[in-house]
Chains A and B, each alone.
Chain A
Amino acid sequence: MNSDMNAEKVRHPVLWTTLFTILSLLWIYPIVLVLINSFKNKTYIASNPFSWPSGKEFAGWSNFTTGVSRTNFFASFGWTVVITVGSVALILLCTSMAAWWIVRVNDWVAKTLYTLFLFNMIVPFQMVMYTLSGLADDLGLNTPWGLWIVYLGFGAGLAVFIFTGAVKGIPRDLEESAMIDGASVPRIFFQIIVPLLRPTIVSVGILETMWIWNDYLLPYLSLDTNRFMTISIAVQYLKGGYGSVDMGAMMACLVLAILPIVIFYLFCQKYIVKGVLAGAVKG
């Protein structure tokens, strides 16, 4: 994204910068509004969300303490980390291996497998949500580490698809000469192929992280929610049974959910953009 050097000139550059500045400010306004309201007493959030929290409206950190204790927020945060990191690591390892095997073997078994993975990409989650969550329960996969396997299974399609595309671009010569030199197949994969796949691994990793970190329905239906929650489940859980929501606690939880993402974004933006582009493939 850094080819601005030879970018075409535009008429009225100042006007455009001003326009985009205003648009950008409008763009982040919803988030800023939540941040402001997280410091406001809950009764004033509903009656006037646009006011500044001063005087009797100012709630200090009280929304955060209620929000955190009511949702057990930090535990949910921890479980979200466990689920996301474990699933993404497992997906990267297993699907890259499977993709290499599929491309290099390329017999009818490999081709059938590949077709099945492609098919997986167009099936919406609603199609399997009932049976998948039932199965996860029966097999004892209703734990964060059980979800690693569920995510590997349901999310395999896109990852295999992107990895096979990358493997096809790697010439066979290297691995063939290594094989003549007596290197074992696993060694060839991990020492020759994996380093060449590194940019793709990063992209797929980012793409899967964005999906799994934010996913709501799959963990909500599959996890034993009495024991484990994710951030999204915890936030939705605040709504409770019949409508009444503690908007103060809600605002605080929203801030706590958004903040780590923004920090992560500041450091990994370059990779995130690459991940988005890797995922921009025709289904």
Chain B
Amino acid sequence: MTTTSGKTIRRWWALFALPTFLAFIIGFIVPFILGVYLSFCDFNTIKDATPIGFKNYAKAFQDSEFWVALGQTVSFAIVTTIIINVVGFAIAYMLTKAIRGATIFRSIFFMPNLIGGIILGWVWQLLLNGILQQWGASLTLSKNYGFWGLVILVCWQQIGYMMIIYIAGLQAVPTDILEAAEVDGANGRQKLFDIIIPLMMPSITVCTFLTITNGFKMFDQNLALTGGAPANESELVALNIYRTFYDRMGFEGVGQAKAVIFFIIVAIVAMLQNKLTTSREVQA
């Protein structure tokens, strides 16, 4: 339904909606549609594309490195989502209590989020290689070092971000409910698991959504920390797609097909995850 004022505003579409929409066409709609189309084509540049049906997808499905990278990405997303949210929540829970210096601790834990992924990758390369060196090893020696190094880096980076969201959520938990529970004789453990965590489900939904999608899309840190070394074994799927596009001649179509598969997976995960946690939300 459009109101009278709405009708007047509608006439101003060229000023209000058009600039964003034009940029959106250039920056998203055309690249997206073209991307889907090109995944069914053989091409070296956008202009010389010839349709070849599902051959790119067949090649993508046969590429074992792609599946290894995808599997690794799934493990990475799961591991980081669990660690970041458990630790982030625990720190937030403690820092909403009367602890001296809590404000400074919050600031410090959050800080890594402001620094770019490429920069962070190099920062941690120095530290982790320095530690591994004590045992004569290095990050690029085995894919396990690269994988767990990336897990540590990303947890260190994102725990503070989720902590901020959890703190805001914890501060919104009504104190009268907690006081009533205390009167009824609930102990700290019961209050946390039976009252606070159920009431915190909206924050938990948001944070797990953010960490899972961040995990799937991880690229910059992966590139700067190991670049996939040794022999592309530590690469995650975003880096695998990038390499298929730009490091392998004649594989542009396969790269685009992988990108479409990747997009579908990310979209499904986001929707599933959202549905799952939203159904657990309760009202105070």
Our pick among A33, A149, A257 for the contact of B27 (Cβ within 8 Å) is A149
Q: Name the interface residues of A135-190: CB closer than 8 Å to any CB of B.
A: 135, 138-139, 141, 149-157, 160, 172, 175-176, 179, 185-186, 189
What per-residue 1/0 map shows which CB atoms of A27-42 lie under 8 Å from chain B? 1111101100100000
Our pick among B8, B15, B115, B130 for the contact of A97 (Cβ within 8 Å) is B15
- Whether the pair A236, B209 counts as a contact (CB closer than 8 A) is no
Q: Give the CA-CA distance A258 to B119 in the complex, in Å.
A: 8
Residues of B within 8 A of A27 (CB): 108-109, 111-112, 156
Q: Which residue of chain B is the closest to A93 with respect to CB atoms?
A: B19
- Whether the pair B111, A28 counts as a contact (CB closer than 8 A) is yes
Give how many A residues have a beta carbon under 8 Å from the other chain's beta carbons.
107
Q: Give the CA-CA distance A229 to B241 in the complex, in Å.
A: 23
Q: Which residue of chain A is the closest to B106 with respect to CB atoms?
A: A1
A sample of 5 more A-B contacts (CB under 8 A), given A94-B19, A106-B2, A116-B24, is A20-B94, A105-B9, A122-B267, A123-B267, A273-B164
Interface residues of B (CB under 8 A from A): 1-3, 5-6, 8-13, 15-17, 19-21, 23-32, 34-35, 38, 45-46, 94-119, 122-124, 126-127, 129-130, 133, 156, 161, 164-165, 167-168, 171, 175, 203, 205-207, 209-210, 213, 216-217, 219-220, 223-224, 238, 241-242, 245, 252, 255-256, 259-260, 262-263, 266-267, 270, 274, 278
- Whether the pair B102, A4 counts as a contact (CB closer than 8 A) is yes
B202 CB to nearest A CB, Å: 8
Our pick among A33, A123, A258 for the contact of B263 (Cβ within 8 Å) is A123
Show 27 residue pairs from A and B whose CB-CB distance is below 8 angstroms, ordered by the A residue. A1-B106, A27-B108, A29-B127, A31-B123, A45-B126, A49-B127, A49-B133, A101-B13, A109-B13, A123-B28, A123-B263, A124-B262, A125-B217, A126-B238, A127-B32, A153-B26, A156-B27, A156-B28, A185-B9, A216-B219, A217-B220, A231-B116, A231-B119, A264-B114, A276-B110, A281-B206, A282-B274
A204 CB to nearest B CB, Å: 13
Interface assignment of A16: CB less than 8 Å from any CB of chain B:
yes
- Whether the pair B263, A1 counts as a contact (CB closer than 8 A) is no
Residues of B within 8 A of A70 (CB): none
Q: Is the interface of B mostly helix, strand, loop or mixed?
A: helix
Residues of B within 8 A of A264 (CB): 114
Our pick among A10, A100, A127, A156 for the contact of B97 (Cβ within 8 Å) is A10
Residues of A within 8 A of B238 (CB): 124, 126
B153 CB to nearest A CB, Å: 9
B262 CB to nearest A CB, Å: 6
Interface residues of A (CB under 8 A from B): 1, 3-4, 6-10, 13, 16-17, 20-21, 23-24, 27-31, 33-34, 37, 45-46, 48-50, 94-95, 97-98, 100-102, 104-107, 109-110, 113, 116-117, 120, 122-132, 134-135, 138-139, 141, 149-157, 160, 172, 175-176, 179, 185-186, 189, 210, 213-217, 231-232, 235-236, 247, 250-251, 254, 257-258, 261-262, 264-265, 269, 272-273, 276-277, 280-283
Q: Which residue of chain B is the closest to A123 with respect to CB atoms?
A: B263
Residues of A within 8 A of B133 (CB): 49
Q: Give the CA-CA distance A194 to B75 in the complex, in Å.
A: 45
